[in-house]
Amino acid sequence: MSTTYDFAAFPRREPTTFLERLLARQIRIGRLTVLGPGPREHSFGTVPPDAPHLDVVVRLRDRRTAWKIAFRPGLYVGEAYMDGALTIEQGRLEDLLEIGLRNTGGPSRRNLLRRGLRRLLHRVHQANSGARARRNVAAHYDLSDLLYVNFLDADRQYSCAYFATPDLTLEQAQEAKKAHLAAKLLLRAGQRVLDIGCGWGGLALTLARAGQGQVTGITLSAEQLAVARRRAEAEELDHRVGFALADYRWLTGRFDRIVSVGMFEHVGTPYYQAFFDKIAGLLTEDGVAVIHSIGRMDGPGVTSAWIRKYIFPGGYVPALSEVLPVVERAGLWVTDVEILRLHYAETLRHWRARFTANLDAIREKYGERFCRMWMFYLAASEMSFRHDGLMVFQLQLARSVDAVPLTRDYIDVREDAAEGRHAVADSA
The full set of domains in the chain, from first to last, is: 7-104 (3.30.1050), 126-427 (3.40.50.150)
Q: Can you give the pLDDT at residue 212?
A: 82
Please give the Cα distance from 301 to 316 (Å, whole number): 9
pLDDT above 60 (res 12):
no
pLDDT above 50 (res 428):
no
- Please give the average per-residue pLDDT across 307-323, as a whole number: 93
Q: Return the SS3 of 277.
A: helix
Find residue 44's DSSP bridge partners: 32
User: Which of 172, 207, 226 minimizes the C-alpha distance to 347?
Assistant: 172
Q: How confident is the model at residue 107 (pLDDT cuts 50, 70, 90)?
A: low
Q: How confident is the model at residue 10 (pLDDT cuts 50, 70, 90)?
A: very low
332-341: string of b/e by CB count within 10 Å (b at 16+)? bbebbeeebe
Calculate Rg over the CA atoms of the chain: 23
Please give the Cα distance from 96 to 369 (Å, whole number): 19
> pLDDT tens digit string along 298-309?
999 888 999 999
> pLDDT tens digit string along 160-209?
999 999 999 999 999 999 999 999 999 999 999 999 999 999 999 999 99
- Please give the average per-residue pLDDT across 43-72, as a whole number: 95
Least confident range from 56-60, 61-65, 132-136: namely 132-136
Which whole-number Å values give the CA distances from 76 to 53, 267, 289, 376, in the listed order? 24, 27, 40, 12
- Please give the average per-residue pLDDT across 326-340, as a whole number: 98
- Alpha helices by DSSP H, 264-341: 272-282, 305-310, 320-329
